[in-house]
Structure 1
Amino acid sequence: MTGTGSAAAVAEQFRFFAAEVVGSRRLGPTMVRIALGGAGLDGFASGGRDQSFSLFLPHPGQEEPVLPVEAGADWFAGWRALDESVRAVMRSYTVRSQRRLPDGGTELDVDFALHGDTGPASRWAARAEPGDRVLLLGPAVEDNRSVGFRPPAGTRTVLLVADETALPAAAAILEWLPADVTVQAFLQVPHAEDIQDLPTRAVGETRWLVGTDLLVGAVRAATLPGDDDGGDKEGGVKDGGDARQARDEVYAWLAGEAGTVRALRRHLVGERGLDRRRIEFSGYWRRGASEEDLRSEALAAHGSGATEGA
């Protein structure tokens, strides 16, 4: 996450929004798009790009997610105190797009990666119907810390690397990019039918990889600004001033499985010579770990008094 400010100032950037499903559409074997709407979304202010938010889902048999939002800033402690079988399922998602309606309301599209009934969010998304109620903890201001994609001034080339879980964010970033930027995008999906038409004003190439564990090899083999002629081949990275300037005009955004993201970042910094400050990276998931596992680890690392943001 990107952003600075006091805890109070950060908290003011987000609030709870009630929403309901207004439609759904399958995008392929792996992806489904859920449209959320309702008067409770008034005031939701997506900053675009990789805007994330916390989504709260009900358990099977519940009409709506159970969350002590009346606790205000202490909602997270109240949520953790509830029985796991009762408290709302909490997951992090990206706003794929936001629409302003003629009546002044708003709707959000949220794309879900489906993996059967192995997770509560995938199970819910596969069965979602109009009228199903959810709760969001999301931005009330467009410039908020839950937008991570922030290319520095002088960026001329954007490198996007994402697996299917980060595809909605990558797609939104591609739509946001201006025409004077060159983009190299490496997008991995499990099935060829998951490939989407992703519009962008930027000049460049979107390379689709069908399968698993293909991103690191594809990026290593690619030619980036400042390279000689062969990616990470011996002697492939130039040492001259022009090459250094070219590398300093690259901004990389990496998202997906945590181990893959770490390997990509090590490669870009250690072998390609990119400035680590010009790399935004996020592990959306980790093999063998649920989101509850990752959240528990984060809480243990930062102390039991940690609070949850959007």
Structure 2
Amino acid sequence: MTASPYQFFDVEVLRAEHLTPAMIRVAFAGPDLPRMATGGRDQRIKIFLPHPGQDAPVMPDTSGNTLDWYAAWCALDPAVRGIMRTYTTRELRRDPDELIVDFAVHGPAPSPADGPATSWARTARPGARIGVLAPVHEENGAYDFCPPQDTEWLLLAADESALPAVANILDTLPPGLPVRVWIELHDLADRQDLPTKADAQVHWLTQEGTTPEAIRGADLPDGVPYAWIAGESATVKAIRRHLVGERGFDRKKVAFSGYWRRGTTTDQLIDSGESA
């Protein structure tokens, strides 16, 4: 039987802090964290949150084999099973072992836009337990950023939901590499410092869905590009269409991922099978 590159982890909150008004950073610890791995700058993990009144999320019993974890999770009663969401590993620290996850929140609490993960993050306290499905091997299928060797410059486009991945990418780029970055925020107060050795130009936008037009009017570098696009699904698709159809990017060198869809909840996407 093929071994799964993923494992369930039982973790608890060590600390939580506001990085900006719209971003909460949570540090987690757990006995099995030494086994956790990360394979990419936009490494995706699944988190499983408890329902109100639960001390910990109800997790599927996979008997050590997580190859069929999704079917096992779907088989559980939706009213009690852990509430599943997808996030980015912002950092996996060693000595001591800590998993760092950044949660985007919008507006003061409580907000009509709050979902289960946002509500949980706003009130996260030390000792609070969640479940995590994460890789135990660096080579896994849950990341997209993988520029080819012939890449001469990068284009990154994202919104707040993908800001942790953008920060990871920029932090690990080689010195002098030309990078053009567009990031949509609800408010300029939510800008973050994005350390990088690359030659990066970062453009912060405050109107939702305006990135395609901003890129359309931009002067881009010469040379072989690689693009990474993540965020709201319709905006991501519009950027990709422009880059491939109008700018002539090789479609194989455009990595894109819809992290969320306007007008559709995460639970609706899960029910449709689009967010597994």
Question: Does TM, normalized by the shorter one, top 0.5?
Answer: yes
Q: Report the AA paired with residue 105 of structure 2.
A: L
Residue in 1 that maps onto 2:97: 106
Stretches (4+) displaced over 4 A: none
Q: What is the CA–CA distance in structure 2 between the aligned matches of 1:224 and 1:182, rounded to whole Å?
A: 10
Q: Report the AA paired with residue 76 of structure 1.
A: Y
1:190 and 2:186 matched: yes
Alignment of 1:139-150 (within 5 A): 139-150=135-146
Residue in 1 that maps onto 2:238: 263
1:208 match: secondary structure: strand
Select which of 73, 80, 83 maps to 1:79.
73
Alignment of 1:88-167 (within 5 A): 88-101=82-95, 105-115=96-106, 116=111, 118-167=114-163
1:273-307: CA deviation from partner (whole Å, max 9, x where unpaired): 101000000000001111222223236xxxxxxx9
Select which of 3, 6, 12 maps to 2:4.
12
TM-score normalised per structure 1: 0.83
Residue in 1 that maps onto 2:41: 49
1:213 and 2:209 matched: yes
2:216 match: secondary structure: helix
Q: Which runs of 5+ in 1 are unaligned?
A: 1-7, 227-245, 300-306
- The answer to whether the 8 Å contact 2:49/2:56 transfers is yes
1:126-166: CA deviation from partner (whole Å, max 9, x where unpaired): 11000001111101011221121000111010100000000
- The answer to whether the 8 Å contact 2:9/2:30 transfers is no
Q: Report the AA paired with residue 117 of structure 2.
A: A
Residue in 1 that maps onto 2:255: 280
- The answer to whether the 8 Å contact 2:40/2:145 transfers is no
Select which of 45, 54, 65 maps to 1:62.
54
Q: Report the AA paired with residue 92 of structure 1.
A: T
- The answer to whether the 8 Å contact 2:11/2:130 transfers is yes
Q: Report the AA paired with residue 54 of structure 1.
A: K
Q: Report the AA paired with residue 4 of structure 2.
A: E
Q: Report the AA paired with residue 178 of structure 1.
A: P
Higher Rg of the two aligned structures? 1
Residue in 1 that maps onto 2:267: 292
Select which of 233, 246, 250 maps to 2:225.
250
Q: Which runs of 5+ in 2 are unaligned?
A: none
Q: What is the CA–CA distance in structure 2 between the aligned matches of 1:35 and 1:262, rounded to whole Å?
A: 33
Q: How many Å apart are 1:55 and its aligned residue?
A: 0.6
Q: Report the AA paired with residue 100 of structure 1.
A: R
**Larger helix proportion of the pair:** 1
Query: Percent of pairs identical after alignment?
Result: 47
Q: Report the AA paired with residue 72 of structure 2.
A: G
Q: What is the CA–CA distance in structure 1 between the aligned matches of 2:177 and 2:69, rounded to whole Å?
A: 41
- The answer to whether the 8 Å contact 2:60/2:76 transfers is no
Q: How many Å apart are 1:213 and its aligned residue?
A: 2.1
- The answer to whether the 8 Å contact 1:48/1:95 transfers is no
Q: What is the CA–CA distance in structure 1 between the aligned matches of 2:145 and 2:175, rounded to whole Å?
A: 17
Select which of 32, 43, 58 maps to 1:40.
32
TM-score normalised per structure 2: 0.92
Q: How many Å apart are 1:180 and its aligned residue?
A: 4.3
1:210-244: CA deviation from partner (whole Å, max 9, x where unpaired): 23222111111111134xxxxxxxxxxxxxxxxxx
- The answer to whether the 8 Å contact 2:24/2:122 transfers is yes
